[in-house]
Amino acid sequence: MLFSDKKSIPALIALFASFIAVKAGECTVPASGDGITDDSPAILKAFTDCQKDSIITFTAANYSAFTPISLTDLSNVTVRLNGNLLLPNNMTRVQQAINITQNQASTYATPWFYIQGTDVQILGSDEFEWGQFHGFGQQWWDIGNRILRPQLATFNVTNGLLRGLKVIKPIAWGWNLPGQNIRVENHFVDAMPNNGTRTDTVVSFNLSGRNITVDGYYGHNGDDCISVINGARDIVAKNGYCGFSSHGLSIGSLGRNGAEHTVQNVLFKNWTMEGAVYGARFKSWTGGRGWADNITWEDITLIDVSTGIFITQNYYDQDKGPRPPNNEKTSTRISNIFYKNIKGTLTTNWTDGTCISNPCWNYIDGITHNTGIIFDLFPETALNISAVDIDIKPAPQFAANGTTVLCDPSALVPGEQDGLGFKCHNGPLIITPIVVPTSSALSAYSASTVMMVLVAAFSAILSM
Ligand SMILES: *[C@@H]1O[C@H](CO)[C@@H](O)[C@H](O)[C@H]1NC(C)=O
Ligand SMILES: *[C@@H]1O[C@H](CO)[C@@H](O)[C@H](O)[C@H]1NC(C)=O
Ligand SMILES: *[C@@H]1O[C@H](CO)[C@@H](O)[C@H](O)[C@H]1NC(C)=O
Ligand SMILES: *[C@@H]1O[C@H](CO)[C@@H](O)[C@H](O)[C@H]1NC(C)=O
Ligand SMILES: *[C@@H]1O[C@H](CO)[C@@H](O)[C@H](O)[C@H]1NC(C)=O
Ligand SMILES: *[C@@H]1O[C@H](CO)[C@@H](O)[C@H](O)[C@H]1NC(C)=O
Ligand SMILES: *[C@@H]1O[C@H](CO)[C@@H](O)[C@H](O)[C@H]1NC(C)=O
Ligand SMILES: *[C@@H]1O[C@H](CO)[C@@H](O)[C@H](O)[C@H]1NC(C)=O
Ligand SMILES: *[C@@H]1O[C@H](CO)[C@@H](O)[C@H](O)[C@H]1NC(C)=O
Ligand SMILES: *[C@@H]1O[C@H](CO)[C@@H](O)[C@H](O)[C@H]1NC(C)=O
Ligand SMILES: *[C@@H]1O[C@H](CO)[C@@H](O)[C@H](O)[C@H]1NC(C)=O
Ligand SMILES: *[C@@H]1O[C@H](CO)[C@@H](O)[C@H](O)[C@H]1NC(C)=O
């Protein structure tokens, strides 16, 4: 038998006899195991046969997922990923396949796996060897091939769980989560290049959905470890480690090409950032629109990080020339941004493998090995930012000069300095008492009330 379904013959007869077209049961996905035969058709068949109220099991084998797959309209499906899913170890083949797939694209890329439905769980094997996704990204990074790169997967599910999945050498972006009510547990990413120098924009998670919790993450990646992007609401990302040259726990980028982007209610808690370019990072494009509200980074440990806390509301492609003019004088507004207990040490070297320009894309006038905090704010669009329990130290050889900050006080909303927690200037990090704890006053309101108050406040400020 080609497909080793566990459905018994009597059960099948009963199913046909009752003329029920519902696709339910248990399916086991056969693996060709030869590394040549494309297993994607067999995977697709299992998900079609077991689309509803089902359990789908991958056996402990390497599956050649050589064609992009779209698994849609799933309902109450548990996937036991006891095997591994391998993309083609051949760049041309990947490019040709992603070029013609009908899989629904996300903002910048098309996913190899597109998964959509309700009540879907993907449970990776407890054994490290299994439950893996292999992208064979090394060969792409080696030659800096950025053409027709797939995103690994989109999980566009309502009520979803991803547990114990391991992503090994992805080509570029990892999981995109636009769905809602999703938990991600114990996720693993190895996007560390073999020669240690370069990895190409490997974002581990793009979160644009609602009510998403990432609990447990261990990864080495270039680019953002977590990127919370437009549309995201009620996001918690906690208990993780980001190594290699990660670009941080990021909000954004938001507002590219003047887009109206919004993000609300995000908590990053209990992370260790090692060798990262940034720890806590916010980025919105110069000339952006929209807003980001209620974002907290809490209990973040920095080990050899270039910049601990970073906000820019003036992001632009540094390698594509000078900062474009902001003719409309707009920016993505930010409000209720909290940093609590951010501690650790800076690195001696803020270069990372994604530098393809000189100065590097992350260069900022005045940055040194001692710069712990950078607030590159757009005037009068940043409201209620506070930093408490900040203990960021330079690397030992630069310790004599102490920690410094880059912050333009003229970009602060009047009165904002009183709640900031450190002196906004270009100079040493000077902790200041928080005189006006507006956060507690604001948190008494419902989110919508807060937004109305904020919108009113911004309107008042902008009309001044
Ligand atoms: C979900 O599917 C399982 C079989 O995997 C079944 O036992 C269970 O009853 C289904 N739940 C609902 C609510 O239908
Ligand atoms: C599965 O594929 C991965 C990636 O090529 C390889 O490292 C591993 O040894 C393979 N496992 C088996 C059992 O063939
Ligand atoms: C890679 O894929 C392309 C396109 O499918 C094919 O022409 C080529 O022979 C493959 N290369 C190898 C080494 O298999
Ligand atoms: C992608 O598709 C376009 C047209 O649909 C074609 O011109 C191009 O050559 C394709 N690229 C690759 C790498 O297959
Ligand atoms: C590492 O990879 C880069 C390309 O990403 C290449 O330029 C460099 O020569 C490689 N280094 C070694 C030691 O292989
Ligand atoms: C997610 O699925 C919904 C329908 O359920 C669809 O409208 C939306 O475009 C999908 N989003 C992505 C990014 O695939
Ligand atoms: C949020 O998602 C979780 C599953 O991760 C679910 O248990 C919870 O009910 C959801 N909350 C709301 C308000 O929908
Ligand atoms: C913090 O996260 C780490 C994993 O990175 C975990 O081992 C530890 O238990 C977490 N601490 C708390 C207090 O939850
Ligand atoms: C994920 O977010 C990053 C950072 O904002 C962005 O560069 C990337 O294009 C996004 N990827 C997708 C597939 O949306
Ligand atoms: C702020 O966001 C966090 C994380 O999602 C949430 O727990 C909290 O309730 C939000 N606060 C307000 C005032 O909505
Ligand atoms: C900084 O790091 C880059 C890449 O990691 C490395 O090539 C370079 O030599 C380092 N520079 C210093 C001054 O350590
Ligand atoms: C301290 O700062 C001064 C002036 O910027 C610089 O010349 C010197 O090299 C720095 N010393 C250390 C140890 O960082």
Q: For tokens 């040194």, name the residue.
A: 368
Sign of CA pseudo-dihedral 145, 149, 151, 152: negative
**Phi first, then psi: what are they for 352, rounded to 5°?**
-140, 175
Closest residue by Cα to residue 223 from 294, 326, 137, 320: 137
Protein residue closest via CA to atom 14 of ligand 10: 447
Strand partners, 218: 188, 241
Q: Per-residue pLDDT for 368 more than 80?
A: yes
What atom in ligand 5 is closest to the CA of residue 141?
A: 5
Ligand closest to CA 297: 10
Please count the structural domains in the chain: 1
Q: Which of 96-110, 250-264, 315-329, 427-441 has the lowest mean pLDDT?
A: 427-441
* DSSP structural state of residue 353: T
What is the pLDDT at residue 437?
A: 54
What's the CA dihedral at 247, 354, 89, 44 to 10 degrees? 40
Query: Which ligand sits nearest to residue 128's alpha carbon?
Result: 2
3 state SS of 116 = strand
Residue range 159-176: mean pLDDT, rounded: 97
151 CA closest ligand 9 atom index = 13
Q: Which two tokens stand for residue 80?
A: 């036991």
pLDDT of residue 453: 46
Contact 284, 331 (CB under 8 A): yes
3-state secondary structure of 96: helix
How confident is the model at residue 5, as a pLDDT?
47
The per-residue pLDDT for range 248-269, each reduced to its tens digit, is: 999 999 999 999 999 999 999 9
Q: Which ligand is nearest to the CA of 211?
A: 7
H/E stretch holding 93: helix 91-100
Residue 202 counted as domain residue: yes
Residues having CB within 6 Å of any atom of ligand 1: 53-55, 76, 78
The pLDDT assigned to 450 comes to 45
Amino acid letter, residue 419: G
**Residue of 247, 261, 352, 376 with catalytic role:** 247
User: In this predicted model, which residue has the larger pLDDT, 202 or 270?
Assistant: 270
Return the bridge partners of 71, or none: 115
* Residue 239, ligand 8, Cβ within 6 A: yes
* 253 Cα nearest atom in ligand 9: 5
Tell me which of 84-93, 102-111, 154-163, 260-269 is least confident: 102-111
Ligand 6 pocket test: which of 156, 157, 175, 181 has the largest number of ligand atoms within 8 Å of its C-beta? 156
Say if ligand 2 is within 6 A of residue 134 CB. yes
Query: Which atom of ligand 2 is closest in space to residue 134's alpha carbon?
Result: 4
- What is the structure's pLDDT at 408? 96
Residue 411: predicted pLDDT: 96
* Residues in CB range of 449: below 8 A, 6 or more apart: none
The answer to whether residue 11 sits within a structural domain is no
Q: Quick check: 52 and 77 in contact, CB under 8 A?
A: yes
- Please indicate whether residue 296 or residue 19 has the higher confidence score (pLDDT): 296
Q: How far is the centre of ligand 10, averaged over its atoms, from the C-alpha of 277 (Å)?
A: 27
Q: Which helix (H) or strand (E) holds 391?
A: strand 382-393
User: How many helices and strands in the chain, by DSSP H and E?
Assistant: 7, 25
pLDDT tens for each residue of 41-99: 999 999 999 999 999 999 999 999 999 999 999 999 999 999 999 999 999 999 999 99
Confirm or reject: Cβ of 181 under 6 Å from ligand 7: yes
Distance CA 324, CA 24 (A): 55
pLDDT band, residue 186 (cuts 50/70/90): very high
- Ligand 1 pocket test target in 76, 80, 118, 123 with most atoms within 8 Å of CB: 76
Give 162's strand partners. 122, 184
Cβ of 96 below 6 Å from ligand 3: yes
Task: For residue 105, give the DSSP letter.
Answer: P
Residue 18 zone, left/alpha/beta (φ > 0; ψ -120 to 50; rest): alpha
**Structural domain includes residue 19:** no
What is the radius of gyration, based on Cα positions, of the chain?
24
418 is known as an active-site residue: no
Ligand 4 contact, 93 CB (< 6 A): no
Q: What is the CATH number of the domain that holds 138?
A: 2.160.20.10
Token match 């690195």: residue? 347
Find the ligand nearest to 120 CA: 1
* Cβ of residue 82 lying under 6 Å from some atom of ligand 2: no
Q: Whose CA is nearest to atom 6 of ligand 1?
A: 53
Average pLDDT, the chain: 89
User: Is 12 inside any structural domain?
Assistant: no
CA separation, residue 339 to residues 16, 223, 265 (Å) = 60, 21, 14
Residue linked to tokens 């190409």: 200
Residue that wins the pLDDT comparison between 144 and 345:
345
Dihedral of alpha carbons 137, 143, 146, 148, sign: negative
- Sort 52 into a burial class: Cβ within 10 Å, 0-12 / 13-18 / 19+: middle
Alpha helix stretches (DSSP H) within 9-70:
9-17, 40-49
Task: Please tell me the distance between residue 344's alpha carbon and the centre of ligand 11 in angstroms.
Answer: 21
Q: Where does the pLDDT of residue 458 fall: very low under 50, low under 70, confident under 90, or very high at 90 and above?
A: low
Distance from C-alpha of 77 to C-alpha of 126, rounded to nearest angstrom: 19
Place of tokens 């887009």: 259
Report which ligand 6 atom has the smallest distance to the Cα of 208: 13
Averaged pLDDT for residues 4-20: 46
Residue 10 lies in a domain: no
349 lines ligand 11 (CB under 6 A): yes
What burial letters (b/e) apply to 260-288, b meaning 16+ CB within 10 Å? ebbbbbbbbbebbbbbbbbbbbbbbbbbb
Residue 238 token pair: 């906690």
Q: Whole-prediction pTM value? A: 0.90
- Token pair, residue 277, equals 């370019």
Residue 53, burial from CB neighbour count under 10 angstroms (0-12, 13-18, 19+)? middle
- How far is the C-alpha of 433 from the C-alpha of 353, rounded, in Å? 38
Domain limits for position 220: 25-462
Ligand 11 pocket, residue 351 CB under 6 Å = yes
Cα(139) to ligand 10 centroid in Å equals: 42
Identify the pLDDT of residue 442. 46
Q: Judge if the beta carbon of residue 270 lies within 6 A of ligand 8.
A: yes
Active site residue 38: no
On whether residue 87 sits in a domain, the answer given is: yes
**Which of 223, 224, 352, 376 is flagged as catalytic?**
223
Residue 462's pLDDT is 46
- Domain-embedded: residue 404: yes
Measured distance CA(38)–CA(62) in Å, rounded: 11
Residue 377: partners with Cβ closer than 8 Å, 6 or more residues away: 311, 313, 407, 408, 411, 412
